[in-house]
C-alpha cells in the first residue's frame, strides 16, 4: 500500500511540476515561425510538382446566414478564387461571442485565422492580447484605406497605427412605432429633449416609451456627445471630468427619471423586461435608437416602423459608430499574410461591398455608398449616410472593454436608483482612472 501512496504522491508532484512549467517561459507555444507549415514548403519537398497547391487561408467571420450573407460570401469567395487560382479561402462562420472566445482560446495556443471579420470593438480587445498584425505597415494600406470612409476606418486605429480595416459600418438612428405615435397624436421629435417628452407621453401600464438594450457607451455615448459632453478625455488619459462631468450627469439623471416613471426599460436595467426585439414585436416599446437591423426585425414582426436620424441635442446629432473590421494576426507567415491582404482588398472593393449591401451590410467603400443598387437594397441608406457623417467611434484603447463595463455597471446603478447619479459616475471615473494607472 505504501508503494501505491508513493506512486500517487509522485503523480501529484509531476502534475505540479507540469503546471509550474506552464507559467514560466512560453517557449513551448507555437510562434509565428512554426505555424502553419506552408503548402509551398510542401511542394518544395516534393520537388517541382507540376500542379502547385494553392495557399489556403483561414477566414473567420460572423456574417448573418439568415440574411443570405453567407451565400453572397461564398459567391464572392468563388469569384476571388477564380481571379486568384493560387489562393484558397476556407471560411468559418462563428456567432459573435463564439468568434470572440475562439480568438481568446487561439490567443493562448497561437492557432488563429489569417483573416477575421468581426466587431469593431474586438480591435482593442485583441490588440490587448498582442496578437493583431499592424496592417498600416502594409505598403499599399493607405491607398486602400483612401477608398474607405474615414470615420468607420478610425475604429481600427490605435495610437497612430491601424490594426484592421473597416469591413462594413453602421450607426444608430431613431426607430419609432408609427401606430403608437399616431394613436397618441404625437409628431416625430425634432430634438433629444422632445424625444424624452415623447417617451413619457407614450408610456402607460401596457407600453413603454423608450428601450435601451444596455447601458454601455454604445447606448449612452450618443446622448452625452450630442449634449456636448464626452466620456473620456480626447487622448483617453482620464475619465475624471468627463464621465462624471455635468453633461454626463444630466444625461444619466434624465434616463434615471424616465426609468422611475416607467418610460424607459430594457433587460439589463430590469431583468424582467422584454428584450428589445421581443418588446418591439409585442408592441410594448415605442422608440429605440438602434442600428439598421431594427428595421429588418420590426418588418419581420409586422410592425409599422418609422426611422429618422437621431434627433439632435445642443451639440448636434452625434451617433455611435458600429460595424465590423477586417483583422489579421501575427501568427500568419509572410505568404499567408499576402494572400489574406489580397482577399481583404477584394472584400473592401466596390463590387464586393455592393454585393454585401444587397444583403443588409452597410458599405464602407465610398463608391459603393452611392451605388444605385446598394441604395435600392438599403432604403434607409441615405438616413444612415447622413448620420455617419457625424457619428463617432468609441475610444479605441486597449482597456476599452473593461472601461465600458465599468461605465455600464455604474450607469445601470444610477438609472435603477441604486445610487445617486453623481456618486455612481464619480465612482466610475475613479475606477477608470485607477485602471488606466495600472500597467
What are the residues binding another protein (CB under 8 A)?
1, 3-4, 7-8, 11-12, 14-16, 18-20, 22-23, 25-26, 29-31, 101, 104, 107-110, 125, 128-131, 205, 267-274, 282, 284, 330-331, 399, 401-402, 405, 409-410, 412-413, 416, 418
- State in angstroms the smallest separation of the CB of 201 from another protein: 18
Give the β-pairing of 208-211 and 285-290. parallel
What is the three-class DSSP state of 88? strand
- State in angstroms the smallest separation of the CB of 107 from another protein: 5
For another protein, the closer CB: 23 or 46: 23
What is the three-class DSSP state of 268? coil
- State in angstroms the smallest separation of the CB of 44 from another protein: 27
Torsion of CA 246, 252, 255, 257, to 10 degrees: -70
- State in angstroms the smallest separation of the CB of 280 from another protein: 13
- State in angstroms the smallest separation of the CB of 409 from another protein: 5
- State in angstroms the smallest separation of the CB of 133 from another protein: 12
For another protein, the closer CB: 12 or 92: 12
- State in angstroms the smallest separation of the CB of 385 from another protein: 33
All three cell numbers of 271, joined, read: 431583468
What is the three-class DSSP state of 174? strand
Give the β-pairing of 322-328 and 165-170. antiparallel
For another protein, the closer CB: 138 or 274: 274
Q: Print burial letters for 338-368: b (CB count within 10 Å at least 16), e (below 16).
A: bbbbbbbbbbbebebbbbbbbbbbbbbbeeb
For another protein, the closer CB: 298 or 364: 298
For another protein, the closer CB: 273 or 387: 273
Q: Name the residue among 435, 54, 74 with its Cα closest to residue 232.
A: 435
- State in angstroms the smallest separation of the CB of 231 from another protein: 18
CB contact set of 30 (below 8 Å; sequence gap of 6+) = 109, 110, 111, 331
For another protein, the closer CB: 11 or 65: 11
| Sheet with 305-308, edge to edge strand ranges | 264-265, 208-211, 285-290, 173-177, 305-308
**236 HSE (CA, 13 A, CB side):** 15
Number of H helices, E strands in the chain: 20, 12
For another protein, the closer CB: 228 or 267: 267
Q: How far is CA 336 from the centre of its chain?
A: 25
For another protein, the closer CB: 241 or 275: 275
Could you give the C-alpha distances from 114 to 101, 180, 329, in angstroms and in order?
Answer: 16, 48, 6
Amino acid at each position: 500500500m505504501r508503494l501505491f501512496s508513493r506512486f500517487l504522491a509522485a503523480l501529484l508532484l509531476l502534475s505540479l511540476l507540469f503546471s509550474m512549467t506552464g507559467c514560466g517561459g512560453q517557449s513551448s507555444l507555437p510562434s509565428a515561425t512554426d505555424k502553419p507549415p506552408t503548402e509551398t514548403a510542401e511542394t518544395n519537398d516534393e520537388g517541382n510538382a507540376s500542379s502547385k497547391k494553392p495557399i489556403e487561408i483561414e477566414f473567420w467571420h460572423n456574417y448573418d446566414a439568415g440574411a443570405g450573407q453567407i451565400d453572397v460570401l461564398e459567391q464572392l469567395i468563388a469569384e476571388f478564387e477564380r481571379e486568384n487560382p493560387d489562393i484558397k479561402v476556407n471560411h468559418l462562420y462563428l456567432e459573435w461571442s463564439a468568434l470572440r472566445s475562439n480568438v481568446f482560446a487561439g490567443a493562448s495556443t497561437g492557432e488563429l485565422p489569417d483573416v477575421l471579420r468581426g466587431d469593431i470593438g474586438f480591435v482593442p480587445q485583441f490588440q490587448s492580447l498582442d496578437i493583431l498584425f499592424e496592417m498600416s505597415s502594409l505598403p499599399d494600406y493607405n491607398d486602400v484605406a483612401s477608398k474607405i470612409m474615414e470615420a468607420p476606418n478610425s475604429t481600427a486605429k490605435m495610437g497612430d497605427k491601424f490594426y484592421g480595416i473597416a469591413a462594413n459600418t453602421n450607426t444608430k438612428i431613431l426607430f419609432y412605432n408609427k401606430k403608437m405615435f399616431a394613436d397618441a397624436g404625437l409628431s416625430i421629435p425634432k430634438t433629444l429633449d422632445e424625444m424624452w417628452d415623447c417617451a413619457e407621453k407614450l408610456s402607460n401600464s401596457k407600453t413603454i416609451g423608450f428601450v435601451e438594450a444596455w447601458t454601455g457607451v454604445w447606448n449612452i455615448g450618443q446622448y452625452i456627445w450630442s449634449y456636448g459632453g464626452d466620456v473620456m478625455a480626447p487622448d483617453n488619459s482620464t475619465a475624471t471630468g468627463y464621465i462624471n462631468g455635468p453633461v454626463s450627469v444630466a444625461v444619466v439623471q434624465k434616463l434615471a427619471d424616465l426609468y422611475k416613471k416607467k418610460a424607459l426599460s430594457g433587460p439589463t436595467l430590469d431583468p424582467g423586461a422584454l428584450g428589445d426585439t421581443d418588446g418591439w414585436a409585442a408592441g410594448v416599446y415605442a422608440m429605440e435608437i438602434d442600428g439598421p437591423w431594427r428595421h429588418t426585425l420590426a418588418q419581420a414582426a409586422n410592425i409599422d416602423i418609422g426611422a429618422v436620424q437621431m434627433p439632435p441635442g445642443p451639440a448636434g446629432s452625434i451617433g455611435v459608430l458600429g460595424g465590423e473590421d477586417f483583422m489579421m494576426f501575427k501568427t500568419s507567415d509572410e505568404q499567408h499574410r499576402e494572400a489574406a491582404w489580397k482577399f481583404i482588398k477584394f472584400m473592401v472593393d466596390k463590387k464586393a461591398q455592393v454585393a454585401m449591401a444587397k444583403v443588409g451590410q452597410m458599405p464602407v467603400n465610398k463608391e459603393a455608398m452611392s451605388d444605385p443598387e446598394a441604395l435600392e437594397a438599403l432604403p434607409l441608406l441615405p438616413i444612415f449616410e447622413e448620420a455617419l457623417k457625424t457619428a463617432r467611434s468609441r475610444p479605441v484603447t486597449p482597456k476599452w472593454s473593461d472601461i465600458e463595463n465599468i461605465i455600464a455597471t455604474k450607469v445601470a446603478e444610477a438609472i435603477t436608483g441604486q445610487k445617486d447619479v453623481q456618486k455612481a459616475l464619480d465612482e466610475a471615473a475613479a475606477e477608470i482612472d485607477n485602471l488606466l494607472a495600472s500597467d
